[in-house]
Structure 1
Amino acid sequence: MKKTLILVRHATAEDQSFRIKDFDRNLNSKGLSESLAMGKWLVREGVKPDIFVSSPASRAIKTAEIIAGQYKLSVDAIETQSGIYDGGPRAYLQAVTTVSENHSVLMLFGHNPDITYFAEYLSGASLGSMKKGSVAIIEFKNQKWEEISAKTGDLVLYKTPKQVREEDE
């Protein structure tokens, strides 16, 4: 059975400062707008995640909440996994390989540089650096979640908020 992984880098957040811990940085107005645009675009494109998993950091969970809202889902539907925040690509892999086989489309919200490394690791594609709020969709044919590893997926789409805004103009 085909599995689809939708990787979402959190949208633009407030700048880091000595007053705010990195973990607690929130989305700024640009990030709120990016999240909303990407959520609307995903719904319009017919992308239908059946499980949402996010880093618990404020900017990632808020991005997830806004996008889930476009699917008319409650914020309670979003699972958080602490390792996604600072556990490196291995934590991303664990988040994917432990998903129940009842799900076929996983949307995972995280941070650079790990989310870019992870997308490249799974697909063998070269993304450079995922832009804030961008989405990478990777498909895996005839695999279980637990079997996913290096270069087992195909990058089928990479889309940035800027590209979505330009299409909407």
Structure 2
Amino acid sequence: MKKDLYLIRHATAEDGANSAMFKDIERELISKGIMQSARMGKYLTESGTEIEKIFFSPARRTEATARLIAEQMTLGEEKLQMIESLYGSGPRAYLALINGLPETVSAIAIVGHNPDITFFSEYLTRDDTQGHMKKCTMIHLQFDGVKWAEISQKSGKMVKRIDVKSLENNEE
């Protein structure tokens, strides 16, 4: 059975680099990030993408990105799940998540953070994923003939990479 994995970097959030006012995990999406997330969700819907579950880290910006994408795709609350280990635990946490998925699921999305999500996409495929994922970039990976528990290094194929900027340019 074919498996589809959509890796999405969170959309544009508040810049916390110069502020002691709030913790990194509390950074919210700014209006640009809200629009990016909605565009990505709209793109996924219009391209006929079917996602059974969207996982995200406990950071506010990943949750907001996931929720806005889910809203555009008319996915209910039960399709969203926060995973603590996706925040600051490295690419191994992403692998542990997908290796633990039940075989009844065939298509998921993970909304995460750089550099982990970029490293993870590069780890899973032999294909050139074009390096650093910009904010609200989506990489679609496919795995054929393997169980979730068997997915490992270089076992996937990159189907598509969509940078939200390319979607913005197509609307003009």
TM over 0.5: yes
Give unmatched runs, 5+ long, in structure 1.
Answer: none
Cross-structure match for 2:159: 156
**Match status 1:12 vs 2:12:** yes
Q: Which amino acid aligns with 2:3?
A: K
In the alignment, the residues of structure 1 paired with residue 159 and residue 75 of structure 2 have an alpha-carbon distance, to the nearest angstrom, of: 25
Cross-structure match for 2:121: 119
The answer to whether the 8 Å contact 1:9/1:112 transfers is yes
1:1-169 aligned at under 5 Å gives the runs: 1-16=1-16, 17-124=19-126, 125-169=128-172
Cα deviation for residue 73 of structure 1 reads: 2.1
Cα deviation for residue 97 of structure 1 reads: 0.8
Name the % identity: 42
Give unmatched runs, 5+ long, in structure 2.
Answer: none
**3-state SS of paired residue (1:46):** coil
The answer to whether the 8 Å contact 1:11/1:32 transfers is yes
The answer to whether the 8 Å contact 1:116/1:127 transfers is no
TM-score (norm: length of structure 1): 0.97
Q: Which amino acid aligns with 2:6?
A: I
For 1:84-139, what per-residue CA distance to the aligned partner results, in whole angstroms no more than 9, with x for missing partners? 11110000101111111111001111000000000000013242200100100000
Q: Which amino acid aligns with 1:153?
A: G
- Aligned residues: CA RMSD: 1.0
How many residues align? The count is 169
For 1:7-55, what per-residue CA distance to the aligned partner results, in whole angstroms no more than 9, with x for missing partners? 0100000000210100010000110000000000010001100111111
In the alignment, the residues of structure 1 paired with residue 59 and residue 171 of structure 2 have an alpha-carbon distance, to the nearest angstrom, of: 30
